[in-house]
Amino acid sequence: MGLPRDSFRILHVSTGNVCRSPITERLTRHFVRERLGILGGGLIVESAGTWGHEGAPMEANAETVLADFGADASGFTGRELLDEHVIRADLVLTATRDHRAQVISMGHSAGLRTFTLKEFTRLVKAIDPTTLPPLEEGVVTRARALVRAAAALRGWLLAPNAEADEVYDPYGAPLTFFRSIGDEIHQALDPVVTALTGVPAKT
């Protein structure tokens, strides 16, 4: 069953879907709500793991990181990444380059809409926001244009080094490391959410 064209689905992918991708999913939702007052306009944000613990709860330290940002961690259950998730996604943001390669290897013409989170941030920062459709045309229209613009830039704006596009796995690490990963994710998401919504973060 095809989704209506008035939706835009963001899929965050990590390994177990209990640490990085849940944090990224729930922070995306939180920051969009902060900017727009709603998580609406057809924007759907979800996550899955390449070795996802199906039905597993989020790691307790990941919940704490979300609480630090005032984001909602409730009701989360882990998912294993399936073909249908990739098929439905309009934008796939992965924690690492390995995850990106795994998603692209699944096929479904995923290459042009799959990026590591930090790669997408780098590309988005290079896009002139005045070239994107105004929010009055809807967040879905703006989001589709943003992904097309980022894909067009990818070959021209390379990472300074291999590690620049990685968000490392905090699984099993102490809370201090989880918090540092949460800060990395926050810094990467901020320009993306600003570009999506056209609204900068409140200072």
Query: pLDDT digit string (tens) for 4-53?
Result: 458 999 999 999 999 999 999 999 999 999 998 877 678 999 999 999 88
**Token couple for 34:** 């902060």
Is 202 part of any domain?
Answer: no
Contact 175, 64 (CB under 8 A): yes
Residue range(s) defining the domain that contains residue 109: 8-195
| 201 confidence band (pLDDT: 50, 70, 90) | confident
The model's pTM is 0.95
70 in any annotated domain: yes
What pLDDT sits at residue 203?
Answer: 65
CA–CA dist 164, 172 (Å, integer): 23
Given a cut of 70, whether residue 2 has pLDDT beyond it is no
Number of structural domains (the chain) is 1
Residue 1 located in a structural domain: no
**Exposure string (b/e) for 38-71, b if CB count within 10 Å is 16 or more?**
ebebbbbbbbbbbebbeebebbebbbebbeebeb
Domain CATH for 167: 3.40.50.2300
Residue 26 inside a domain? The answer is: yes
Reported as a single tens digit per residue, the pLDDT across 170-198 is 999 999 999 999 999 999 999 999 999 99
Q: Which whole number is the average pLDDT over 128-150? A: 95
Query: In this structure, is residue 200 part of a structural domain?
Result: no
